[in-house]
Structure 1
Amino acid sequence: MLARRTLARIPAQQVVSGAAPQNARNMATLRELELRLKSVRNIEKITKSMKMIASTRLAKAQRALQSGKQYGIANAELFANTTPEEVGKRKLFVVLSSDKGLCGGIHSSVSKATRAAVKEADPESPVMIVGDKSKAQLSRSIPQNIALTFNQIGRDIPTFADAAAVADLIFKSGAKYDSIVIMYNKFVSALSFEASSIEVQTETSLREAPGFQAYEMEDDVVKDLSEFALANALYAALVEGHAAETNARRNAMDSASKNASDMIGRLQMQFNRGRQASITNELVDIITGASAL
């Protein structure tokens, strides 16, 4: 009789000893919420720091933008009086982006505009890309058009030396084209940007322009002028694109910080409710046990 009672108690004791507490699920949930709160707080600190850095760099980028615009104005005045009557359809597209991300859809906008422009001009037009971000995007859609790529440009405020180096490599690439179209992001305001383009005439186009045919010039003069005009246009587009990117990064980090703050509020409320429910369950168990005694 005693043996039967003992054997009957053993499974019951094993079940009780192996059973999880009632609030184990709540404890695991609270632990997960606590870890998630910690990670979101860390993300908020990072995004706020990046916003402050972008705000500091934006002031420098805007000052460079004001000086760089003068190069673009000079080019516009030059080509306003030297545009040839007929220009070939084959164009070389130079896409200006950067190697950095976390700045919203600024790289996607210039890549989308480039795809549309290539489709409208000539599907076989060569494309040269400055920056790894647009390179990765355009490599999926028009890989056969990519003739040359550049990187490590625009880490800081672009200089005229960077633009001159890019222009020199473009002329040495041996690509065939009738005109050059620079695709870049135009700085509109502190809240917006738009994909824009600048068309630069080649050495052959300048020679055939009525404004140049009225003067006798040596071949080297026209060649040097075309190279210098391309470097001017590239520098103006680079500094404007850099300012637009820095501003877009600041806005993106500001939005990310606000979203992280809202998420922290929701998670903290959920954590407090779960903690209060766990405490209430423990009190009910204590009171129930005291009443049973």
Structure 2
Amino acid sequence: MLARRTLGRIASQPPVGAAPAGARNMATLREIELRLKSVRNIEKITKSMKMIASTKLAKAQRAMQAGKQYGVANSEVFQNAPAEEPAKRKLFIVISSDKGLCGGIHSSVTKATRRTFADKEAGIDADSPIMVIGDKSKAQLSRALPKNLVMTFNQIGRDIPTFADAAGVADLIIKSGVKYDGIAIVYNKFVSAISYEAAIMEVQTEDVLKSAPGFKAYEMEDDVTKDLAEFSLANAIYATLVESHACEQSARRNAMDNASKNATDMIGKLQMQYNRGRQAAITNELVDIITGASAL
């Protein structure tokens, strides 16, 4: 009987150099522990980014309210100088950002631009030029409409956009020599702190202002109309820049909030999985100890 027990123990032992029976379970626990650590670090980062975006959002909303006055002044001017015929070759100025992790603000303006080009009723020429402010939408439009992309801008709006930024962009657009008979600014319109939508702001060119009946009633020099057109373009770019910046901060805050919640849920699931695995490993070790003690 003693010989049979001894032979049974020898046969049940793993061969020399083989991993113990609980090695697979321990490795799994180690992987879960490392994953828990990485998810906790990600949660700290997303919570910090959410707090920063919340602070920036308040400043961006104040700048947006001040910048909207520029857009209101432009709309009053253009109401008195309507275009006689809709422009076919429009210059599209797409406003996005250089940074990511802010939801779909980049894809929304890109999709709005593509829909406008695909809409046959709009009557837009297929070779209408596109200028992009921001590297994110530039990458998207360079794949969708590469032949229409004529100029891009970056490093604008890293902080709250200023009128000097808008004036610099307008000056480069005018000096670029690109031919167009109308301007359409595609931007994100701020709806609330949790929502936004793509919108298009029309800007009249110098030729349209000269031919408008409201302007013909007054005797003005050509330089006056030219300066007014350039100033109106800078006004429109500034108004849309500050509104797009507010949308970016709002979208980033919401994205980081959702990411933090997802990380918290994942930590809870991984912690439960780790506790179950650890409990199972301890139970197996206790069973082995009790079995060995009973055999002795």
Question: Normalised by the size of structure 1, how large is the TM-score?
Answer: 0.94
* Letter aligned with residue 37 of structure 2: K
Deviation at residue 231 of structure 1 after TM alignment? 0.3
* Letter aligned with residue 202 of structure 1: T
Query: Is 2:87 the partner of 1:79?
Result: no
Contact map agreement 2:14 2:20 (CA 8 A) in 1: no
Write the mapping of 1:118-129 to structure 2, written as runs, cut at 5 A: 118-120=117-119, 121-129=124-132
Of 89-98 and 119-128, deviating more is 119-128
In 2, the alpha carbon distance for the partners of 1:163 and 1:99 equals: 16
Query: Is 2:250 the partner of 1:247?
Result: yes
Match 1:172 to one of 175, 180, 188: 175
1:264 matched to which residue of 2?
A: 267
2:95 matched to which residue of 1?
A: 96
1:234 matched to which residue of 2?
A: 237
In 2, the alpha carbon distance for the partners of 1:46 and 1:36 equals: 15
In 1, the alpha carbon distance for the partners of 2:192 and 2:14 equals: 69
Of 194-203 and 14-23, deviating more is 14-23
Query: Is 2:193 the partner of 1:157?
Result: no
Contact map agreement 2:206 2:226 (CA 8 A) in 1: yes
Deviations 1:227-277 (A, max 9, x none): 000000000000000000100000000000000000000000000000000
Q: Which runs of 5+ in 1 are unaligned?
A: 1-11
Query: Is 2:221 the partner of 1:218?
Result: yes
Identity %: 76
1:282 matched to which residue of 2?
A: 285
In 2, the alpha carbon distance for the partners of 1:55 and 1:192 equals: 15
Contact map agreement 2:135 2:154 (CA 8 A) in 1: yes
* Letter aligned with residue 70 of structure 1: Q
2:6 matched to which residue of 1?
A: none
Question: Normalised by the size of structure 2, how large is the TM-score?
Answer: 0.94
1:4 matched to which residue of 2?
A: none
Deviation at residue 18 of structure 1 after TM alignment? 1.7
Paired positions, count: 283
In 1, the alpha carbon distance for the partners of 2:83 and 2:104 equals: 36
Query: Is 2:139 the partner of 1:140?
Result: no
1:40 matched to which residue of 2?
A: 39
Match 2:199 to one of 196, 202, 208: 196
Q: Which runs of 5+ in 2 are unaligned?
A: 1-10
Report SS of the residue matched to 2:161: coil
Shift in alpha-carbon separation, 1:14–1:278, aligned structure 2, 3 A: closer
Deviation at residue 117 of structure 1 after TM alignment? 1.4
* Letter aligned with residue 53 of structure 1: I
Report SS of the residue matched to 2:237: helix
Report SS of the residue matched to 1:89: coil
